[in-house]
């Protein structure tokens, strides 16, 4: 349904998005995940025809973003990163205004208004002016305007930014419901969010696509290393532990993970091949060589670790 082909965007000499190619299926909920400046917003602005690409293109429902921007826009609901809300307008007036700009037939507007007010939990505030609403409610109004025309494709740039925990849960549930019968692309920095809500995750970093997969497969892919965490009492005797571990067969990498809050312990993270459980070997060697071992355990990589690993490996490559 969406085909992104070699999409790139430069702002002057800043490379915001580079050679992005991707297909999105109808009905998918897709999450763009990446640190600040990864190019998420820029990609969304290009897909919604607010910003022309420097090169490459995309087709949405068979319409090209360069040749048929009006056809594309008609079919998309977009929540921009900075929502251009009209502060003096009342919520219901604003939503009616958006509906007319989108060319909705007048008889459709009233029921649509009732629907989005209910879906976005705006019953209490729909007669108030937008400027007097809290940030969370303004965000809900932003989502309401994106879904008023019941578009087949929703593009939501950080839909839960600035919301309180309760509202975050509400908005996530809402997105999941919306995703049942339409395609949704959303962006986020928050891993648990995309893994809960999305069918597929795209990890972007510095304008490039780093990985695309289902949350489960991303996790599985990075289970290619096994991680053991070791805590030693920090003393003269703990020195050299890192080197001793690196000598062991099967050890791929040893990183120091000590926290400044616990100055009396030395924490090391040992990465090894996944087919080997090195705990016994490590404990035996450390004790035999007189290192003050306090703790040892096997760690599961969280999706958060995977994300950081993918992003930092890309940077260090
Ligand atoms: N209008 C602009 N003019 C110049 N450079 C820009 C502009 N907008 C974005 N950039 C640059 O393009 C890169 C990508 O920015 P973008 O806003 O797409 O990232 P993002 O992934 O949405 O980040 P965030 O998580 O902070 O929202 C950054 O280096 C940014 O500084
Ligand atoms: Mg952004």
Total residue length of the chain:
317
Q: Are residues 210 and 230 in the same domain?
A: no
Contacts for 180-183: CB closer than 8 Å, 24+ residues apart: 181/27, 182/27, 182/151, 182/152, 182/153, 182/154, 183/1, 183/2, 183/24, 183/25, 183/26, 183/27, 183/28, 183/29, 183/30, 183/152, 183/153, 183/154
Residues in the ligand 1 pocket, defined by CB under 6 Å: 11, 14, 16, 34, 36-42, 81, 189
The confidence score (pLDDT) of residue 310 equals 65
Confidence band of 314 (pLDDT split at 50, 70, 90): very low
Res 197 pLDDT > 70? yes
For residue 100, being part of any structural domain is answered with: yes
Residue tagged 């990075």 (tokens) = 222
The confidence score (pLDDT) of residue 174 equals 85
Any idea which ligand is nearest the CA of 40?
1
Phi-psi region of 115 (alpha: psi -120 to 50; beta: other; left: phi over 0): alpha
290 lies in which domain range?
A: 226-300
The confidence score (pLDDT) of residue 316 equals 39
Q: What is the mean pLDDT of the chain?
A: 88
CATH of the domain at 187: 3.40.50.300
User: Considering 165, 191, 215, which residue would you say is the last residue of a domain?
Assistant: 215
Any idea which ligand is nearest the CA of 188?
1
The confidence score (pLDDT) of residue 315 equals 42
Does the reported pTM lie above 0.85? no
For residue 250, being part of any structural domain is answered with: yes
Q: Are residues 154 and 196 in the same domain?
A: yes
Q: Are residues 131 and 230 in the same domain?
A: no
User: Considering 150, 183, 215, which residue would you say is the last residue of a domain?
Assistant: 215
User: What ranges make up the beta strands (E) of the chain?
Assistant: 2-11, 14-24, 29-33, 55-60, 63-64, 76-79, 153-157, 183-188, 200-205, 208-213, 226-233, 251-256, 265-272, 293-299
Q: Are residues 55 and 162 in the same domain?
A: yes
The confidence score (pLDDT) of residue 142 equals 93
CATH of the domain at 252: 3.30.70.1340
CA 134 to chain centre: 24
Write the residue with the smallest CA distance to atom 26 of ligand 1. 36
Q: Are residues 159 and 233 in the same domain?
A: no
Q: Are residues 42 and 168 in the same domain?
A: yes
**Which residues touch 49 (CB under 8 Å, ≥6 apart)?**
65, 69, 72, 73
Q: Are residues 130 and 40 in the same domain?
A: yes
- Per the CB < 8 A criterion, the answer to whether 145 and 94 are in contact is yes
For residue 242, being part of any structural domain is answered with: yes
Res 189 pLDDT > 70? yes
**Which residues touch 3 (CB under 8 Å, ≥6 apart)?**
22, 23, 58, 59
For residue 308, being part of any structural domain is answered with: no
Res 312 pLDDT > 70? no
Could you read off the pLDDT of 264-309 as tens digits, one per residue? 999 998 988 777 778 999 999 999 999 999 999 887 666 666 666 6
The confidence score (pLDDT) of residue 317 equals 35
Atom of ligand 1 nearest to the CA of 38: 21
For residue 35, being part of any structural domain is answered with: yes
The confidence score (pLDDT) of residue 284 equals 94
Q: Which of 17, 36, 42, 311 to mutate to test the pocket of ligand 1 (most atoms within 8 A of CB)?
A: 42
Confidence band of 121 (pLDDT split at 50, 70, 90): confident
Q: How far is CA 231 from CA 22, 68, 253, 282, 296, in A?
A: 43, 60, 16, 12, 6
How far apart are alpha carbons 46 and 59 in whole angstroms? 11
Could you read off the pLDDT of 213-262 as tens digits, one per residue? 998 887 776 666 778 999 999 988 878 899 999 999 888 889 888 878 88
- Per the CB < 8 A criterion, the answer to whether 160 and 172 are in contact is yes
Res 15 pLDDT > 90? yes
Atom of ligand 1 nearest to the CA of 39: 18
Any idea which ligand is nearest the CA of 33?
1
Q: Are residues 27 and 80 in the same domain?
A: yes
Q: Which of 8, 9, 16, 52 to mutate to test the pocket of ligand 1 (most atoms within 8 A of CB)?
A: 16
Could you read off the pLDDT of 198-221 as tens digits, one per residue? 999 998 888 999 889 998 887 776
User: Considering 190, 215, 240, which residue would you say is the last residue of a domain?
Assistant: 215
Write the residue with the smallest CA distance to atom 11 of ligand 1. 16
Rounded to an integer, the average pLDDT of 30-48 is: 94
Q: Can you give the three-state secondary structure of 120-166, one letter per residue? A: CCCCCCCCCEHHHCCHHHHHHHHHHHHHCCCCCEEEEECCCCCCCHH
From first CA to last CA, the distance across the chain in angstroms is: 33
Q: Are residues 165 and 287 in the same domain?
A: no
DSSP state, 214?
Answer: -
Res 177 pLDDT > 90? no
Q: Are residues 103 and 237 in the same domain?
A: no
Q: Are residues 58 and 202 in the same domain?
A: yes
Could you read off the pLDDT of 73-117 as tens digits, one per residue? 989 999 998 877 788 999 999 999 999 988 899 999 999 999 999
For residue 279, being part of any structural domain is answered with: yes
Element (H, E) at 243: helix 241-246
Q: In this structure, what are the phi and psi dihedrals at residue 101, rounded to the nearest 5 degrees?
A: -60, -35
What is the 43 CA–ligand 2 centroid distance (Å)? 9
Atom of ligand 1 nearest to the CA of 35: 25
For residue 312, being part of any structural domain is answered with: no
Q: Are residues 171 and 280 in the same domain?
A: no
Total domain count, the chain: 2
For residue 315, being part of any structural domain is answered with: no
């Amino acid at each position: 349904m969406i085909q992104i082909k070699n999409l790139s965007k430069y702002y002057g000499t800043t490379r915001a998005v580079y050679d992005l190619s991707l297909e999105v299926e109808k009905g998918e909920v897709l999450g763009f995940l990446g640190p600040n400046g990864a190019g998420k917003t820029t990609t969304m602005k290009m897909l919604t025809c607010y910003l022309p690409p420097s090169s490459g293109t995309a087709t949405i429902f068979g319409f090209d973003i360069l040749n048929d921007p009006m056809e594309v826009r008609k079919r998309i609901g977009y929540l921009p990163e900075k929502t251009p809300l009209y502060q003096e307008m009342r919520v219901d007036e604003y939503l009616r205004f958006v509906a007319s700009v989108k060319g909705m037939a007048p008889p459709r507007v009233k029921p649509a208004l009732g629907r989005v007010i209910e879906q976005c939990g705006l019953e209490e505030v729909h007669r108030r002016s937008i400027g007097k609403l809290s940030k969370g409610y303004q965000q809900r109004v932003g989502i309401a305007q994106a879904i008023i025309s019941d578009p087949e494709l929703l593009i939501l740039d950080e839909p839960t930014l600035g919301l309180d925990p309760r509202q975050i849960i509400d908005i996530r549930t809402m997105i999941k419901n919306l995703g049942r019968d339409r395609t949704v692309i959303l962006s986020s920095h928050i891993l648990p969010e995309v893994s809960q809500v999305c069918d597929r995750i795209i990890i972007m970093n510095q304008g490039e696509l780093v990985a695309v997969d289902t949350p489960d497969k991303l996790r599985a892919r990075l289970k290619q290393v096994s991680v053991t965490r070791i805590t030693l009492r920090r003393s003269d005797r703990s020195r050299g532990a890192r080197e001793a571990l690196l000598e062991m067969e099967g050890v791929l990498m040893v990183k120091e993970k000590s926290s400044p809050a616990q100055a009396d312990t030395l924490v090391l993270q040992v990465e090894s091949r996944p087919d080997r459980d090195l705990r016994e070997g490590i404990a035996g060697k450390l004790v035999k060589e007189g290192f003050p071992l306090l703790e040892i355990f096997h760690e599961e990589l969280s999706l958060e670790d995977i994300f950081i690993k993918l992003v930092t490996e890309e940077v260090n490559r």
